[in-house]
Amino acid sequence: MGERKQQFTGWWIPADIVNLFLDGKLNSKEMILLANIDGMVDRSGEGCHASNKTLGKPLRVSDETVRRMLQKLKKMDLVIETGFDGRRRFLETAWSRSCPHKTVGSDPTKMTRLNPLLRKGSNKTREDDSSSSGDGGFLKLHNPKNKSKPSLFDKACARQLREAVKKFTRTLPSSKLSTDAQSFRLLREQNGISQERLENVLDWFCDHIKNQFVPRAHSGKTFREKFIKIEDAIERMGETPVEVSERAEKIVKRLQEWKWPKGSASQLPTVVQQSVEFEDLFHKRLVKLLNAEPDKSTNSSQGRRRNMFNHILESFHPDFVFQWFTTVYKQVQNWEAWNGNLTPHRLHHNAEKFRQYGRQLLISRGIPERQWDKLMEEVDACV
């Protein structure tokens, strides 16, 4: 897709990153994302310039999920954006320039440890920190001798649930950490729930614990009892439910004055909010690309690019999302075969109608429509 393939040097995870995972401050996908970025940092000095879509492939997650993961990792100072050339951003991990695993022929037993300052937010020290290796934590997770008691993975899940409950109820959970961890162990060993499945459901639950349609589970025991109901809620809601902003609420009120077919009016708050978020994100990324262009350039192609960005930005007026759903309403009003699901019709970069809109914008300025697809690749790579 126009992205130059970088040499992949492999995955290596410092002990301090493993400890952040064991403390419940990183999930497994975030840890692998860090290792993947580090593995694409060129020894010649160039950072990882892979797009969010490329970074998400080994994790089997969307580019939007990768964007949110990168935002979190940047706030934790674990990912650094070292540059942006107008088309690609360059990323490195906090240890990409300090660990000798980047040198050919390095001895893995003599690797330098990650700076302990990166473990900010962790107020505990481990007895085995001084002797732990990069993979010691994972060996403990899968040690068959630990079947009769909670593993480190179970304890991390328990901590994550308790933190979410504490934020939601503003009180300490009534159950003990060890009791909650036992429930996660039973989910794995007695109920046969895989770690990946358990982690995905727990992440979703903690993110949406405030939603009135999500089952209440304020302890490890109730989480285990309602695990299938929580999965049913994920499937029932389809897309991840979101908190509706004031701007989205105003748009929804205008749209709900119309008679939406097949009971789809109840979906409007979610799909409108998702559309508003996409429009805001798309606008911010376009502005960032525009600002990366030279202000005054004698290069005619760069001047045309600036004009193209300005033209697209001007087209996103305040009523854009409302007009988008006005078109959707007209489309589905007399559509007998329509199933009532509004999710595929929301405003997002993969929507065919949005592609057609963008291509027509460029054609109206005498720009080949294929430039729209190239622009979308740049937008995708921009964080």
pLDDT, averaged per 10 consecutive residues of the chain (383 residues), comes to: 54 84 84 89 75 88 86 85 78 72 38 35 36 34 51 88 83 82 88 82 84 86 89 68 81 91 80 88 86 66 78 85 92 73 78 85 86 81 66
Cα atoms in the Cβ-side hemisphere of radius 13 Å centred on 108: 9
The length of the chain, given as a count of residues: 383
Segment (H or E) for 150: none
pLDDT for the residue 184: 93
Task: Dump the DSSP string for 202-246.
Answer: HHHHHHTTT-TTSPP--SHHHHHHTHHHHHHHHHHH-SPP-PPPH
pLDDT for the residue 255: 93
Burial of 143 (0-12, 13-18, 19+ CB in 10 A): exposed
Domains and CATH numbers, the chain: 1-104 (1.10.10.10), 144-237 (no CATH), 246-381 (no CATH)
pLDDT for the residue 101: 46
Segment (H or E) for 21: helix 15-22
Structure tokens at 236: 């029932």
Structure tokens at 201: 């459901």
pLDDT for the residue 194: 82
pLDDT for the residue 118: 37
With tokens 């929507």, the residue in question is 351
pLDDT for the residue 181: 92
Long-range contacts: 70-78, Cβ < 8 Å, 24+? Answer: 70/33, 70/383, 71/383, 72/30, 73/30, 73/33, 73/34, 76/25, 76/118, 76/120, 76/121, 77/118, 77/120, 78/17, 78/34, 78/118
pTM (two decimals): 0.41
**How far is residue 111's CA from residue 109's CA, in Å, rounded to a whole number?**
6
**Cα separation values, 241 from 13, 109, 231, 262, 274, Å:** 33, 46, 14, 20, 9
pLDDT for the residue 112: 36
Closest alpha carbon to 377 in 89, 132, 72: 89
pLDDT for the residue 301: 67
